[in-house]
Amino acid sequence: MFDESFVRAARIQEFSARERIADHSPAVRRRRPAHRTLTRQLMVIAVLIAAAFGTAVWMGVRHPYGADPQVRRTVGAARTAFVPLAPVGRVPGDSDPEALYAHSPAARFEAGASGIPLPAVRGTAHFSDSQVTAALISARSYLVRSSLYPEVLTGRQYRPVRPLIDSAQLDQFDRSFTRPAADGRHAPTGWLVRFDPARVRLADERIRARGTLRAAEADPATLEVSSDAVFVYALRPAQAADGTAASLFTVRREIVFRLDHEDLRLGQLQLVSARAEAGPESCGDDSTGYLQPLLAGRTARPGTPRGTDPYRTGAEAALCGTLAPGDRP
């Protein structure tokens, strides 16, 4: 006796009585293996899955993160400018940095990152609330790392800022520190606030700050964040004792950032332009690599800014201003 599973698995099958009456010469016929049909079905399903996966990958490359496929990603070079503000008369000082802050406009400022709050957030036509928030957080993080980190301010580090820079601008950023130049593109002080550690040290690491951030849609694929922030530093000579008179140094930074979908995904940003005004500082000092603050008791050297060559394209214009007496302690 054969069980049903053995019969069904047989490769030959006997014709029925009706089929034999119809004058078939052979008594049996070869049965089509069931596993061949199943294998063919599995192959078709595998091909369909592979095609769907390939289409999804292709669509992801062609249309990353919902961006408009017609908008090509282009990242330009950052442009920077610096204006020294020369003091009128002698730079005031005090052994107590808190007293200096209390008698200056910075008395109303917050200490550290608290002085740069995030604004109320609204989505745009092509960016959600969360994407706009991410753009503002990236811009604020850049301001904090480049203007408030002690290791950056003392000129010993610039690495905390580097991870925030769009990869397309990293060559420009790195060259600014390996081969600085006063060309409006490769000045370290265009990217961050930086003092020469051989000349200056912080008298108080609780830096006073006040700043604003504003986000808007530059185009369907790009957000633009504008920042305007003032930072006030209490400084002493590098080798001076703690009781030595300190003085205040003020830096105003106006920076425009841009962020596309790739930047938002990676937590990076593009620096479009950065303009800084800083003082007290003499007009003739070279602030390409380091800011050159005038410390307590010093006066600005007489003279005018370095010359500007109108025949040299791409050169940074030489600018200088006067620090308003009302801004002093």
Average pLDDT, integer, range 218-233: 97
Secondary structure (DSSP) of 195-206: B-TTTEEEEEEE
Angle in degrees, CA 150, 155, 156, rounded to 5: 80
Confirm if 139 and 213 have CB atoms less than 8 A apart: yes
The model's pLDDT over 101-127, given as tens digits with 9 standing for 90+, comes to 999 999 999 999 999 999 999 999 999
The model's pLDDT over 32-87, given as tens digits with 9 standing for 90+, comes to 555 556 677 777 777 777 777 666 655 554 444 444 444 456 889 999 999 999 99
For residue 54, give both structure tokens: 């390939």
The model's pLDDT over 156-214, given as tens digits with 9 standing for 90+, comes to 899 999 999 999 999 999 999 999 999 999 999 999 999 999 999 999 999 999 999 99
Has residue 228 got a pLDDT over 90? yes
Query: Quick one: pLDDT at residue 16?
Result: 60
Confidence of residue 320 (pLDDT cuts 50, 70, 90): confident
CB atoms within 10 A of CB 12: 10
What does pLDDT average to over the chain?
85
Query: Quick one: pLDDT at residue 70?
Result: 42
Q: What is the CA radius of gyration of the chain?
A: 35
Domain boundaries, the chain: 4-66, 79-327
Alpha-carbon distance values, 234 to 201, 238, 246 (Å): 9, 12, 6
Query: Quick one: pLDDT at residue 13?
Result: 55
Query: Quick one: pLDDT at residue 51?
Result: 72
Question: At which residue do the structure tokens 């265009």 appear?
Answer: 190
Q: Are strands 222-237 and 200-219 parallel, antiparallel or unpaired?
A: antiparallel
Please state the pTM of the whole predicted model. 0.76
